Homo-oligomer: A and B are copies of this chain.
Amino acid sequence: MAKNARNAISPSRAENYPEWYQQVIKAADLAENAPVRGCMVIKPWGFGIWELMQRALDDMIKATGHVNACFPLLIPLSFLEKEATHVEGFAKECAVVTHHRLEGDGQGGLKPAGELEEPYVIRPTSETIIGHSYSKWVQSYRDLPILINQWANVMRWEMRTRIFLRTSEFFWQEGHTVHATAEEAKKETLKMLDVYEDFAENWLAVPVLKGLKTPDERFPGAEDTYSIEALMQDGKALQAGTSHFLGQNFAKASEITFLDQDGVSQVAWTTSWGVSTRLMGALIMTHSDDDGLVLPPRIAPHHIVILPIYKNDEDRKLVLDFCNSLNKELQALRFNHAPLRVSIDDRDIRGGEKSWQHIKKGVPIRLEVGPRDVAKDSVFMGRRDRAPKDKVSLSVKELLAGVSSILETMQEQLLSRAKDFRKNNTKVINTKEEFEAFFNSSEGAVQGGFALCHWNEAAIDHPLLTKHKVSPRCIPFDSEAFPPEQGVCLFTGKESRKRIVFAKSY
């Protein structure tokens, strides 16, 4: 067995993609299962990535005129009951708080005590509790629009969970806005979808397709749900963010009304939109390889790790002094409008093992420095987008002059590589036979991809879809790539006005 293979992630993507995913997370030390059903612990390296995502997206949300606020974790049952479709959508997965203290159970243990008059659920989403506040805040057209976002933890008691992709507790931002007109609310819904697209592509290097969800995939209580859909390396789609036009459904339920300019009472129009820690899953499954995590430099907690190599105390001082001064010079440089993030890993473990740890964590650039490098005023550079052994010697001068543009290139190439993958795994499909062949993948192969098919709403739950566990991902907006095009639904033979995207999905 080659040395490389010994260090690589086992199993490989081709051998077992779902297990590879878990092993990448473990090898990169991103997160692990918690001792609470379906919940996760996000470890420092994983949380560092999430923090960078939060910071970048938060800036974009604020730049589009929104402000942050904070609403309660708990929702009274009576609030949830107000919107019938909504409660139906979430009733089966609510964590319910029924007591407010503990007392001895007589056997040395504890039991719940102090039963509450009205139970609370831990928010699975906050439309109803935020709507209550909004109904008090909105009196006149002058109070509108309300453009508020919150970063929060939410809880949905999922039966089958997988780290980052589907967990009982997860972390997200949820925007909730109120508008005087339907038109303005619809514009907001689409604006935030654009923000999500911008963020996914330009920060995470994850190309996404924007579109309208089919009625069966709508958020419970929404009029229209839009999403961004990404294609993972196994050919399955991942819904990476959603934006909902809620019409007047929640405004009616929460009584959000206002006096218009003529003094007439009107029901407001609302939206909500969110992305979550699920994006961590999208990130991992878009870029990572059989050596472990690959990070787009913009959201890498460290852009560069410096690895000092020495065998005795004399060399130690020489090498560490050099590394410290290199560190300072690098941190004075900028990438993506901020200082370079550099760390020195001086832990006392074997050099090869240490280097592999950083490969598996997806650090974009590794700089090995030994006594001979110091003598030459140079470093030995490894890049995460090259093979682990493909390292080059570089003078410090060359390094300082070129490192920011190397990171820029890595960021761009990750996006273009992912776009190529999507292009190569998107297929126009016109017959049921082609459809079956596309999704009938052999083990280890890409499981289909994006299938562009003519479609009619009557095809929802068609046996062919159920059989292959394929679903409509979204109805893309009209564009050059997705023109309006009269056709016949592949599944029902009914009329279709354009092709939509089908895929297996997470």
Contact = CB atoms under 8 A, between A and B. Distances in A.
Interface in A224-246: none
A73 B155 contact: yes
B97 A122 contact: yes
Query: Max chain B CB contacts within 10 Å: which of A40, A44, A97?
Result: A97
B41 A72 contact: yes
A43 B72 contact: no
Given A51-B68, A122-B73, A157 B100 contact: yes
Interface residues of A, number: 64
A109 B80 CA distance: 10
A148 interface: yes
Interface stretch (A85-93, A432-440, A441-449, A496-504): A85-93
A157 B74 contact: no
Nearest to A119: B112
Contact of A92 (B40, B77, B101): B101
Contact of A34 (B50, B71, B80): B71
Interface string A323-351: 00000000000000000000000011000
A121 B81 CA distance: 24
A41 B152 CA distance: 13
A214 interface: no
A361 B452 CA distance: 54
A86 to B, nearest CB: 12
Interface in A91-125: 91-103, 109-112, 114, 119-122
Contacts of A70: 41-42, 47, 50, 171
B41 A71 contact: yes
Contacts of A74: 36, 39, 95, 169
Given A77-B109, A96-B97, A98-B99, A34 B91 contact: no
Contacts of A121: 102
A79 interface: yes
A270 to B, nearest CB: 17
Given A74-B39, A77-B102, A112 B133 contact: no
Contacts of A133: 32, 34, 41
A63 interface: no
A109 B99 CA distance: 19
Nearest to A110: B77
Contacts of A80: 102, 110
Contact of A101 (B50, B120, B132, B157): B157
A112 B98 contact: yes
A35 B68 contact: no
Contacts of A71: 34, 41
A416 interface: no
Interface string A392-432: 00000000000000000000000000000000000000000
Query: Max chain B CB contacts within 10 Å: which of A36, A47, A50, A121?
Result: A36
Nearest to A148: B44
A35 B101 contact: no
Interface in A60-80: 67-80
Interface string A152-184: 010101000000000001010000000000000
Contact of A72 (B34, B75, B93, B347): B34
Nearest to A55: B55
11 contacts: A35-B129, A36-B129, A39-B73, A41-B71, A42-B69, A44-B148, A72-B169, A77-B109, A95-B120, A112-B119, A153-B153
Given A35-B76, A91-B101, A114-B157, 6 more contacts: A36-B75, A41-B69, A73-B122, A74-B169, A77-B109, A122-B122
Interface of A: 32, 34-36, 39-44, 47-48, 50-51, 67-81, 87, 91-103, 109-112, 114, 119-122, 129, 132-133, 142, 148, 153, 155, 157, 169, 171, 347-348
